[in-house]
């Protein structure tokens, strides 16, 4: 079984890494390339960069940023944010990204996943999935959790796997931002249902939360932002503590 991965997530606005709550009250936490390079040196297995700028100028800035990241950083990195067409994906992959991630656009047009996978291969496609529980049923949301759909979580992830997704990055909108841990039973069920890796996103408040989702939750990777950006723990420290708990990580 492959080692569990630790993946810092960097939200990017006009080339800078920012942090906020639901993209409000954004605080600049550093240069996106320099921060990513630091995380790579600390032992990050991969990086995720998300473009949160909606303007066309922002998209052009982000493309140039991807080229800089590819020149500087020697670990795999995934990029996403506003990818709605195969041309959007092609632009970023051709700029040097190792993978792209799609979310709302895939819900609106599931064929997008198939089209990207057909052109580049499943290993290039990560489908980000946001969901919340409504009357005990996990329902897919889009647009940062603000729009509720009729799609059920497990039906959707099975569909996107069959469409060619290489990985699923799942966020519970009920847990995101709470720093109170992950819905590990749901992650475990997803891992048992799918034959592709599952990345746990949203809810990490401490090492114990990450350890639990990687073990009890059977997630293949854990994605986090604030605990790294604000220096609460380094990636190397996190990995050592996970290893001490018997979780297989690359040290």
Give catalytic residues, as residue numbers: 11, 130
Alpha helices in the chain (DSSP H): 32-42, 56-72, 86-94, 104-108, 111-120, 153-163, 184-193, 207-215, 226-229, 235-244
How far is 12 from 81, CA to CA, in rounded Å?
9
In total, the chain counts a number of residues equal to 251
Taking Cα atoms as reference points, which of 135, 206, 208 lies closest to residue 174?
A: 135
How far is 143 from 87, CA to CA, in rounded Å?
20
Q: What are the tokens at 39? A: 């995380």
Q: What are the tokens at 22? A: 């639901």
């Amino acid at each position: 079984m492959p080692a569990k991965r630790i993946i810092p997530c960097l939200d990017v606005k006009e080339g800078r890494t920012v942090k906020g709550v639901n993209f409000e009250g954004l605080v600049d936490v550093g240069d996106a390339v320099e921060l990513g390079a630091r995380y790579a040196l600390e032992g990050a297995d991969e990086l995720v960069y998300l473009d949160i700028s909606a303007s066309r100028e922002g998209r052009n800035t982000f493309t140039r940023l991807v080229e800089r990241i590819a020149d500087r950083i020697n670990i795999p990195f995934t990029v996403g944010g506003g990818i709605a067409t195969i041309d959007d994906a092609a632009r970023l992959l051709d700029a040097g990204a190792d993978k792209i991630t799609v979310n709302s656009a895939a819900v609106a047009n599931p064929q997008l996943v198939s089209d990207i996978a057909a052109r580049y291969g499943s290993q290039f496609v990560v489908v980000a999935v946001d969901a919340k529980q409504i009357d005990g049923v996990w329902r897919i949301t889009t647009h940062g959790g603000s729009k509720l759909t009729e799609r059920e979580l497990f039906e959707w992830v099975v569909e996107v796997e069959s469409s060619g997704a290489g990985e699923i990055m799942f966020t519970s909108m009920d847990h995101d931002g709470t720093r109170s841990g992950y819905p590990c039973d749901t992650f475990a069920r997803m891992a048992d249902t799918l034959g592709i890796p599952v990345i746990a996103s949203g809810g990490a408040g401490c090492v114990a939360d990450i350890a639990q989702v990687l073990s009890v939750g059977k997630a293949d990777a854990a994605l986090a932002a604030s605990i790294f950006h604000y220096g609460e723990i380094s990636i190397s420290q996190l990995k050592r503590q996970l290893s001490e708990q018997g979780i297989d990580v690359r040290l």
